Amino acid sequence: MLSSLHYLHSKGTTHRDLKPENVLVDDLYNLRIADFGFAAPIEGRDGSGQLKTKLGTESYMAPEIHAKQPYTGQSVDLFAVGIILFIMITGHPPFSMAVP
């Protein structure tokens, strides 16, 4: 999963809506990331590298998105991967609810 995310980021794109439903596995067990509806350039619209739009799936959003603060796409994608891996290991989300 991290290799796929690294590839995506190396191409200048951030996903911003990573969740289990958007992580697919093909018949050869290759991981595929799907649903790029909220994807954005890593550099942002103004070239600063800071994104500002509050979007994604609440329980996978990084705290800075909930706090309506500028964020980097790579860090929020990595936060969502951490949530996904936690769920894969424990069978439940790490938080009972998303709190700003």
Average pLDDT for residues 52-80, to the nearest whole number? 94
**Which is the CATH superfamily of the domain at 2-90?**
Transferase(Phosphotransferase) domain 1 (1.10.510.10)
pLDDT of 98 over the 70 cut: no
Strand 23-25 and strand 13-14: the pairing is unpaired
Q: What is residue 45's predicted lDDT score, i.e. its pLDDT? A: 85
Judge whether 17 counts as a catalytic residue.
yes
What is the pLDDT at residue 61?
A: 93
pTM as predicted: 0.90
Q: State the catalytic residue, choosing from 17, 26, 27, 35.
A: 17
Percent of the chain whose predicted confidence (pLDDT) is above 70: 96
In this prediction, residue 99 carries a pLDDT of 58
Q: For residues 34 and 17, is the Cβ–Cβ distance under 8 A?
A: no
What percent of the chain shows pLDDT beyond 90? Answer: 86
